[in-house]
A = this chain, B = another copy of it.
């Protein structure tokens, strides 16, 4: 019997996260205070984030950051996650490529998001915080944080992007079951939300807007901290458990990836699977390709601009040096809610700029076509976000079919689609749309970032 899954016991859960900032040839440019344009120090972030997360955010020296034992214990409820050889997908594509995927969908919340949620909730509890708040797009991060908060005994308030709140009622129910309070965003409960509703009463919401609301709640509530599910350096750090495990598992499989692929919203699951392998490109001369699969309707890496921008719509965050579509960007209503974000994480943007990674854009219908093929061959119904990684994988595997190259492709299955079946219904019903944004339209949004860089 050919081995299908490569498993590790929970004793192999990594002891430390890999901090790629320590080995980057060009360190990320500083995060700036928008008023003074001075580089931020960790203590400048304390009003918003936990202190430990703030320090991790700006730590460019320690290559390895120990994972606290209670976080490892919490990881043990689902980690190490399986690495799986997609034999049936390979066969269906007729490709000589070897396709592997890391299955992060087995986590309680159904996605990789729990890897950082547990860490952030743990640090909050340690620092005497009682309440945490956040935004969520598709609801995967919100679900993960809700469970993590319950696990460590914290109250949790989630601002959920309004379109997802309406499209994905089951995600709401999941957060509710884990004991969180959920508010659709934009809401009337914050000044940021009220401003957006005033400007456009029918606003569908965006991650950028929900972030503004959650930050406002955190800074105006005592004993309450904000948490973020992607983009930030410490979130990408926490996700590296994915790739660190995958590295050992690829060894068990006797292979090393030529290509590593993940979908890309703010960059968290991409960082998780990519960074541990990328360190061997940086340090050991390996030549692995890293491909970020972003939605064609939210093309920050393929069509965005590298410059300073806000991380949120209302401009409450520090200025981040990143590939951005402008913080006023209004992403189309694709089902992959977790990819509807205007910017790429700071570390990722620098790596992109320096040529360590590349990006492709995927139309919504192409992503679901690939997702259905994956479901019918490998049996797992993927989240709409993960469908983008699968589509990029299919493209690469078909190239191998043409050239006859037996490449080893590894992609991250960031989550399952059990709560996104409405999107699959639309796909089969033929009503799923692709969204095109013209250069002119895009330029208008990017101007909101340009204006900050004058």
Task: Give residues in A with beta carbon < 8 Å to B.
Answer: 1-5, 7, 9-11, 69, 72-73, 76-78, 84, 88, 106, 108-110, 147, 150-151, 169-170, 173-174, 176-179, 372, 375-376, 378-381, 416, 418-419, 421-422, 424-425, 428
Contact = CB atoms under 8 A, between A and B. Distances in A.
Nearest to A78: B379
B73 A4 contact: yes
Contacts of A416: 418
A179 B379 CA distance: 12
Contact of A376 (B10, B84, B169, B179): B179
Contacts of A381: 108, 174, 177
B108 A173 contact: no
In the complex, the count of this chain's copies comes to: 2
A421 B1 contact: no
A246 B84 CA distance: 22
A379 B77 contact: yes
Contacts of A150: 376
A425 B170 CA distance: 9
B1 A424 contact: no
Nearest to A427: B177
Contacts of A147: 379
A110 to B, nearest CB: 7
A108 B377 CA distance: 11
A421 B173 contact: yes
A72 B176 contact: no
Given A177-B372, A178-B376, A421-B169, A7 B4 contact: no
A76 B418 contact: no
Nearest to A179: B376
Contacts of A375: 177-178
B170 A76 contact: no
Contact of A1 (B3, B10, B372, B379): B10
Closest 3 CB pairs of A and B: A108-B379, A173-B421, A418-B418
A375 B150 CA distance: 10
Given A375-B177, A428-B176, A418 B1 contact: no
A176 B425 CA distance: 8
A380 B108 contact: yes
A21 to B, nearest CB: 28
A4 B425 contact: no
Contacts of A428: 176-177
Nearest to A380: B108
Contacts of A169: 421-422, 425
28 contacts: A1-B10, A1-B11, A1-B72, A1-B73, A3-B11, A4-B10, A4-B77, A5-B76, A5-B77, A77-B379, A78-B379, A108-B378, A108-B379, A108-B380, A151-B379, A169-B422, A170-B170, A170-B422, A173-B421, A173-B422, A173-B424, A176-B425, A177-B428, A179-B376, A416-B418, A418-B418, A418-B419, A419-B421
